[in-house]
Amino acid sequence: MPPPTRDGAEIASSRTERDRSDTTVKVQGLWKIFGKKVDAARELASAGADRDRIQAETGCLVAVHDVTFDVRAGETFVVMGLSGSGKSTLVRCVSRLIEPTSGDIDVCGTVLADASDAALRELRRSKMAMVFQHFGLFPHRRVVDNVAYGLEVQGVGRDERHERAREVLTTVGLDGWGDHYPQQLSGGMQQRVGLARALAVEPEVLFFDEPFSALDPLIRRDMQDELVALQLELQRTIVFITHDFAEALRLADRIAIMRDGAFTQVGTPLEILTQPADDYVRAFTQDAPIAKVLPACSLMRPIGEVAIDDGWPRTTETATLESALPFLLSSDHPVVVCNSEGDPLGLLHPDDVAAVLEQNLR
């Protein structure tokens, strides 16, 4: 019998006491069509025509097809899709780096379609930031000045912005590197600078467009770990774009699988793995290293009235199922899943883990 599952809000709330019920990003009926015969292309798309037919008949490319979703405050919402699925166009529309064809977008309470240029600039300066695959650092500026750039644009004084920049550099593991230049840093370190630059302005929302895809595998994993740790500490609202399913599983509170401009399925990592909506999603899950990427908290049960003994094995909420397996195999008791302060959040039972691993192998 499969273990009890929880929705994304319940899993997210197990990671923090902060209320995530508020919606920070709201997208309704978003379309982006490149070409001149937009109305004809949308009519064909709404009738079920595929991209090839639409392009052949109208010369238009439907990049984003009637997408609707919400992202709660403090949630990491990952959009995963193959090359050409429309995911990068989607995040650029949501941040209004490119103009959507139609649809409603609300970020931090600002309706982007109604926002003046001045309001958009203020939103980008103070409430949202983007991190791209290509770092976009200024080679002639020191690392500290790159990180402080957003604060400089806001008009923050030199001493204050440098102090803040050095604090953020410490947060991302680059303490002592502020006076170097970008070309003196490795690729992974440069991406940390890009992340620090985004964090320096203390945005409410962070948009990531495949930020780690150009990095070597080991550095990429380090950056994923860094982002997970930072998110537990800072609790920002994140929209993260990737083509890597394992990366999506490691980072997400919820995942949207995108294909041909539309969302095929939206759900928690556990829901995507155990209840794939169709064969397209199932193809991603078949080879997913579920034990290596799913956190222990994704399968934990509420503690309820259970009296926890001090001798029961413990693990952290960010630990993977794989790291918890030795404890599950060597104990007659469930594993206690704790937060970073050591406070119990829930219980991980062997039967639940075994059921999910067995289902994943089918």
Summarize pLDDT for 145-162 with one digit per residue, the tens: 999 999 998 889 999 999
Identify whether 153 is part of a domain: no
Instruction: Provide the token pair at 103.
Output: 């649809």
Convert the pLDDT of each residue in 248-276 to its tens digit.
Answer: 988 999 999 999 999 999 999 888 988 89
Same domain? 116 vs 257: yes
Q: Is residue 108 within 8 Å of 204, Cβ to Cβ?
A: yes
Identify whether 317 is part of a domain: yes
Identify whether 109 is part of a domain: yes
Same domain? 232 vs 86: yes
Instruction: Note down the domain range covering 271.
Output: 9-23+71-127+203-288
- Mean of the per-residue pLDDT values for the chain? 87
Any idea what the CATH number is for the domain that residue 355 is in? 3.10.580.10
pTM exceeding the 0.85 threshold for the entire prediction: no
Amino acid at 315: T
pLDDT at 85 over 60: yes
User: Within a 13 Å sphere around the CA of 342, how many CA atoms are in the beta-carbon half?
Assistant: 1
Cα 280 off chain centre by = 21
Same domain? 351 vs 259: no
Same domain? 216 vs 102: yes
Of 288, 317, 340, which residue sits at a domain end?
Answer: 288
Residue of 274, 247, 266 whose CA lies nearest to 353: 274
Same domain? 229 vs 341: no
Identify whether 327 is part of a domain: yes
H or E stretch at 223? helix 217-234
Convert the pLDDT of each residue in 287-327 to its tens digit.
Answer: 777 787 778 888 899 998 888 888 899 998 878 888 888 88
Instruction: Provide the token pair at 113.
Output: 């379609």
Same domain? 209 vs 351: no
Identify whether 187 is part of a domain: no
CA distance 160 to 7: 42
Q: How many domains does the chain have?
A: 2
Any idea what the CATH number is for the domain that residue 234 is in? 3.40.50.300
Same domain? 208 vs 327: no
H or E stretch at 193? helix 187-200
H or E stretch at 264? strand 262-267
